[in-house]
Amino acid sequence: MIFCAAEFDRLLAPVEDSFLIAADGGLRHLERLGLTPDAVIGDFDSLRYVPQGAEVYPVEKDDTDAMLAVKLGLSKGFRDFVLYGSLDGPRLDHTVANYQLLKYLADRGAHGVLVGCSFCAAVVQNGSLRLKPHAEGDISVFCMGPDAQGVSIRGLYYRLENGTLSSGFPLGVSNHFIGQEATVSVEKGALLVLWRREAGLPEFQ
């Protein structure tokens, strides 16, 4: 679990047996929750001080603090990531960077979920994700990159079977749950999926 500097309301899963990384200002969230990070990393321009034992990087660098945390997790062999405080910050450009971070994970055979105050986001690539039947609210599916082929959307109000989504037209926006197990899958390509936080964390296949 990675804690970034933007806001979120609550944890969606127990932290037991998770490796906890604070990315710069995300350390404040861990302190608020009474949790001790296993690693603290970043340039600390948000936190405005350097915590003891932190891994410090210069402000002028190619990686965001969230990406530094992801790379640290990958180097330790982790393949399932949840990033809290990664959607609702004041910087829209950092939110878009976090969408690309999800693709970075998918390209390396890993899975990531961004958690904000209202929404979650994930990238599914050449595979599928599933949300349980209790899920409620909105869900949207977008092509991420070249045309996504063999797209199937099942268990939602608007369904699609073996279709193609393009990054040039938002066909998958504003779907919603109907009390059934929801599955979004793609045979070739990558999809960015955003859903209401109340639906919880997905299962990837």
Domain residue ranges of the chain, discontinuous segments joined by + = 2-117, 124-198
The answer to whether the 2-117 and 124-198 domains have the same CATH topology is: no
**Topology classification of domain 2-117:** Rossmann fold (3.40.50)
pTM over 0.85: yes
- Give tens-digit pLDDT for 131-162: 988 878 999 999 999 999 999 999 999 999 99
- Give tens-digit pLDDT for 30-65: 999 999 999 999 989 888 899 999 999 998 999 999
- Give tens-digit pLDDT for 111-120: 999 999 999 9
**Topology classification of domain 124-198:** Jelly Rolls (2.60.120)
The whole-number average pLDDT for the span 79-103 is 93
Pairing of strands 203-204, 190-196: unpaired
Predicted pLDDT of residue 47 = 85
Please, which pLDDT band fits residue 125 given cuts at 50, 70 and 90? very high
